[in-house]
Structure 1
Amino acid sequence: MAKRAERPGDPIKLIGLLWKPTEAVSRSGLTPRRVTDAAIAVADAEGLDALTIRRIAGDLGVSPMALYPHVAGRAELIELMLDAVAAEVYATGPPPAEAATWRARIERVAQANWDHHMAHPWTVDVAPGRPVPGPGVSGKYEAELVALDRLGLGDIEMDQTLTAVLGLVSSAARGVISMRRVWQESSLTDVQWWESVAPALAAAMGGVSYPIAQRVSTTVGETTGMSTDPEGAFRLGLDMLLDGLAHRIK
């Protein structure tokens, strides 16, 4: 089980790292971007649990001490990683604001963030807190707000709507990523796992019946092959959210 990564404690130092990075090559041949890219590669492949200063230094062929002129520690490195991958979300393809309708714009925002989490699963493991926005995160936020602008929403409603969309995406993405990790660690599919525990569960329940829960869970399992369907919930939830928004902005 992946641990939730903590946020760094010194926001002032982090602001300097994010907004005023030096790209001068040190004697070790490193730059902050090269260190960040190496860290992203490790996290994408193995998760944040594998991310240590020693590991990154080894991959770069330098001593751990050679990294500290560029990053103060692991927590700060993760912030640089988050900002770097945030800058990629709308780097390819047309921006959300160019979609033909307001609904298509928001759907593009949601899909881009879904793809972002699937490409970088470790992003769902970073604990919420008071993130310091760097240029990547700030540019992403601006692109997403443009998609919501001029719909008749107030500024607070725009931010809340975006938060609702991104929260729906990240919650469902976390569910999918968690399930994939379980599958990687187990030799059983969800259906096989339930079949293996069903007799013991039935005996423990002692004849207690939950007919609607049994009907629904059976349908989900037979239809999707999974105990739950986070991606399906994301798609349906987004449609329902946008249907509600359509009534609000009439």
Structure 2
Amino acid sequence: MATAPQERSNLVRTFELLWNLREHSGLGRKAGLTVDQITSAAIEVADAEGLDSFSMRAVADRLGVGAMSLYRHVPGKEELLDIMVDRVCAEVRYDNEGPASPGDWRTRLEHIARSNRAMIERHPWLLRLFPRRPPQGPGVLAKYEAELRAVEGIGLTDVEMDSALALLLGYVRDATAGVLEWKTVSERTGQSDDEWWMTIGPLLDRVLVSERYPLAMRVGTAASEHYKGVHDPEYTYEFGLQRVLDGIEAFVRTGRE
């Protein structure tokens, strides 16, 4: 386990790398690699294989160099992960300029939610990195700045602006994780929804009694008919997103009254 001074040293080194304040550590001969190349390769490895197989050696193999070559540029795996997070945050683009007008802030928040979901779907390994202190790099800060502009000037205090974003993005992160998990259920279990229902349906018929489980039978039947199956993760995701936005809108409206 790293000592506190070492952790502080690596934090400083990571910050310098994020802001391009220092490219090489000065250890040994200057290699033909850059932090940008290493980060790109690392993201490719994580996207393809997830974090279970992620390592400095795996990144080095993708670049066709020895693992020790990477350490001339990046202190270690944890620091590289921070740089990767900052890079993928920089991929997110918003078209909002200046403070939100009273009539369009909800649309902007909805756009933020969809953009963050798309980022997670492109890079699902991000879900494994929570909770984690966000790297204070240009990608993370630019994304945060743009997201704050969506709720600037609508009647929230600074702390409420930050909390509204935390609420929205927390929902997006957790709900997207649920959608991605559901999409792999058939693969993980070896059964499609129809196959699962053909097995479990007759068994349920033997034990379900409407007098004992009236709500379960009524609601379960209505839901499965609506979903045309066991579950519809996209419907559930959208339902939850709109309710989160409803809650923020109600809070903003209350503050103005």
TM class by smaller structure: 0.7 to 0.9
CA distance in 1, matches of 2:193, 2:99: 40
Give percent identity, aligned residues only. Answer: 40
Encode CA deviations 1:179-213: one digit per residue, 9 max, x unaligned. Answer: 2333333432234234434566777x797943323
Q: 1:97 to 1:238 in 2, by over 3 A?
A: farther
Q: 1:98 to 1:41 in 2, by over 3 A?
A: farther
Partner of 2:162: 159
- 1:20 CA drift (Å): 3.4
Name the Cα RMSD after superposition: 2.9
* 1:22-171 matches, cutoff 5 A: 22-23=22-23, 27-90=30-93, 94-95=95-96, 101-171=104-174
CA distance in 2, matches of 1:14, 1:226: 48
> Contact between 1:28 and 1:62, CA under 8 Å: does it hold in 2?
no
Q: 1:222 to 1:50 in 2, by over 3 A?
A: farther
- 1:9 CA drift (Å): 5.2
CA distance in 2, matches of 1:189, 1:96: 46
Partner of 1:4: none
- 1:133 CA drift (Å): 2.0
Encode CA deviations 1:47-93: one digit per residue, 9 max, x unaligned. Answer: 11121111111110001111111222222111111110000111xx6
1:48 counterpart SS class: coil
- 1:97 CA drift (Å): 5.7
> Contact between 2:17 and 2:23, CA under 8 Å: does it hold in 1?
no
Question: Once structures 1 and 2 are overlaid, which stretch shifts more, 160-169 or 229-238?
Answer: 229-238
> Contact between 2:105 and 2:150, CA under 8 Å: does it hold in 1?
yes
Residue 58 of structure 1 aligns with an amino acid whose one-letter code is: D
CA distance in 2, matches of 1:14, 1:117: 23
Q: 1:58 to 1:201 in 2, by over 3 A?
A: farther
- 1:127 CA drift (Å): 2.6
Partner of 2:3: none
CA distance in 2, matches of 1:102, 1:144: 11
Count of paired positions: 239
2:92 counterpart SS class: coil
Rg bigger for which structure? 2
* Residue segments in structure 2 that go unaligned for 5+ positions in a row: 1-5
Question: Once structures 1 and 2 are overlaid, which stretch shifts more, 56-65 or 123-132?
Answer: 123-132
Partner of 2:15: 15
CA distance in 2, matches of 1:224, 1:202: 20
2:150 counterpart SS class: helix
Q: 1:206 to 1:237 in 2, by over 3 A?
A: closer
* Residue segments in structure 1 that go unaligned for 5+ positions in a row: 1-7
Residue 184 of structure 2 aligns with an amino acid whose one-letter code is: R
Q: 1:18 to 1:227 in 2, by over 3 A?
A: farther
Question: Once structures 1 and 2 are overlaid, which stretch shifts more, 96-105 or 231-240?
Answer: 96-105
